[in-house]
Chains A and B, each alone.
Chain A
Amino acid sequence: MYKVKVLIKRRTSILDPQGKAVEIGAKNLGIKNIKNTRIGKYIEFDVDTTNKSTAEEEVNNYCKKLLANPIMEDFEFTLDEVK
């Protein structure tokens, strides 16, 4: 079995108003040097197979077809074998 951690990031070419709004909070807190806040998603799950390439293929499919929307998001993931 593999434990998977997926990071989904909004493409840099697309404005992230949520990140900007959150950054205003940092300024209000007096935290002065925060810049370029961008908000994405972190998703974790398991893939129940012992075959690494099968696991990678399924994770890729899951990310491309559902977890991320390629029009606005990029994704990356790591696989860790669980014994």
Chain B
Amino acid sequence: MKNPKFGIVVFPGSNCDHDAFYSLSKVLGYETTFIWHKDTDLKDSDVIILPGGFSYGDYLRSGAIARFSPIMDSVISFANKGGYVIGICNGFQILVEAGMLPGILLKNISLQFVCKDVYLSIENNDCNFTRGIEEEKILKIPIAHGDGNYFADEDTLKKLEDNNQVVFRYTHPDGTISDNYNPNGSANDIAGIINKEGNVMGMMPHPERSCDPVLSKTDGSLIFKALVNNILN
């Protein structure tokens, strides 16, 4: 089987679409294409990326309007058939607004836009986005967001934990998890989750910004490589 093809959806206001394209195609060598949000054709993509940015200027709520873009009906039916979808930052916000993942992303508890490297523990290393990454590996990946404070009611949080749907948590570089290392106030230090079926993942950190060795960090590439390997096998 040939390597999976990545499709990056471009919404008005997306600004990490080219970063994702560069990392996936130029750094990692995967076939990658842009998909305009007004189209409905996913161009035979095997993995859909909803990139970071400020779709529709974050009007009303982050991601609230992008979910009504024509492409989203195609993305939802693709996901319902088991297709892989990764929402990064604003992409994660779009996934929760579209009801493809539970919860919501509130304003950071500090009220500040936070842009820095964070450390992530892999809480679920048995999903297709992480299986194969070295056990106990702590990923160094940057965040850049104002609305990244993951919130869900207690029942939903319990279900996420019980079903092993929390994929990444904010942590200290040595793996200690505590609120001190939580940059935005997220419930249970959640940085990324998957749906119950395991094919839709949303995360606030930007793996596409830590792929190129010239940037001195490459841990984000481990997620894309793991997914490709797990799809091929």
Q: Contact at A66–B64, with CB atoms within 8 Å?
A: yes
Of the four ranges (under 10, 10 to 19, 20 to 34, 35 or more), the interface on chain A belongs to 10 to 19
Distance between Cα atoms of A15 and B64 in the complex (Å)? 20
Where chain B touches its partner, the secondary structure class is loop
Nearest chain A CB to B224 CB, angstrom units: 30
Answer whether residue B153 sits at the interface, using C-beta atoms and an 8 A cutoff: yes
Given A14-B106, A15-B109, A21-B111, A71 contacting B60 (CB threshold 8 A): no
Distance of A33 from chain B, by nearest CB (Å): 23
Task: Give CA–CA (A34, B108) in the complex, Å.
Answer: 23
Contact residues on B (Cβ < 8 Å of other chain), bracket: 10 to 19
**If the complex has contacts A17-B109, A21-B111, are A71 and B64 also in contact, measured as CB distance less than 8 A?**
no
Number of A-B contacts (CB under 8 A): 28
Q: Which residues of B contact A67 (CB under 8 A)?
A: 60
Q: Which residue from chain A places its CB closest to the CB of B97 in the assembled complex? A: A69
- A residues in contact with B106, CB < 8 Å: 14, 72
The residues in A between 46 and 83 inclusive whose CB is less than 8 angstroms from any CB of B are 66-67, 69, 71-72
Residues of A within 8 A of B (CB): 14-15, 17-18, 21, 66-67, 69, 71-72
